[in-house]
Amino acid sequence: MGRVDADEARARFAAARVARLATVAPDGAPHLVPVVFAVVGEVTGDVVWSAVDDKPKSTRALRRLANIAAHPRVSLLVDHYDDDWTRLWWVRADGTARVLDATDAATRAGRDALVGRYPQYAEQPPAGPFVAVTVDAWRGWSAR
């Protein structure tokens, strides 16, 4: 019971289907949103990619993008809840985020990973902008 090592945290995170992205607004207010994502790289050089896609939104100028421009340090969280509390766990990726558009050469690997991971993107790949989080640390906890 307790701390999950970086390798296990990364594996649990990468297997999850959705994460919560935590950013900080220019005024210091926290902001948390669910995102689909793909992990590209190795434990010591991972980048977590997400994209502004065509799901219904009022604008593509999302608050998370402005927050990253103001404060690029972010966290992504995935967790597992079960009524059997011996099965609870969470893992977090802490890192530095960048907002990139589709013309940036670095976005190709991220977009390809997202398309490969989510069938919904096969017919209509995300146009972006893209969020690339360079992971500084994997942290986690498990009841087992």
Q: What ranges make up the beta strands (E) of the chain? A: 2-3, 19-24, 30-35, 38-40, 47-51, 73-80, 89-100, 130-142
Q: Does 81 map to a domain?
A: yes
Q: Does residue 143 form part of some domain?
A: no
Is 23 within the bounds of a domain?
A: yes
- Number of domains observed in the structure of the chain: 1
Q: How far apart are CA 54 and CA 4, in angstroms?
A: 35
Q: Does 144 fall in a domain? A: no
Query: What residue numbers bound the domain in which 18 lies?
Result: 2-138
pLDDT of residue 106: 85
Is the pLDDT confidence value at 59 over 80?
A: no
CATH value at residue 131: 2.30.110.10
53 within a domain of the structure (yes/no): yes
Position 121 pLDDT exceeds 80: yes
Residue 41 belongs to some domain of the structure: yes
Report the chain's mean pLDDT, rounded to a whole number: 93
pLDDT, tens digit (0-9, with 9 covering 90-100), for 60-119? 678 999 999 999 999 999 999 999 999 999 999 999 999 999 888 889 999 999 999 999
Q: Does 110 fall in a domain?
A: yes
13 occurs within a structural domain: yes
Query: Shortest CA distance to 21 belongs to which of 106, 5, 13, 84?
Result: 13
Band (1; pLDDT cuts 50, 70, 90): low
Dig out the tokens for 4 from the structure.
Answer: 């999950």
The whole model's pTM is what?
0.93
CA dist list (Å): 50 to 38, 47, 65, 94, 97: 7, 10, 11, 15, 11
Dist. CA 10–CA 91, nearest whole Å:
8
**Helical H runs in 5-127?**
6-15, 63-70, 107-117, 120-123
Residue 42, pLDDT > 80, answer: no
Q: pLDDT band at residue 39, thresholds of 50, 70 and 90? A: very high
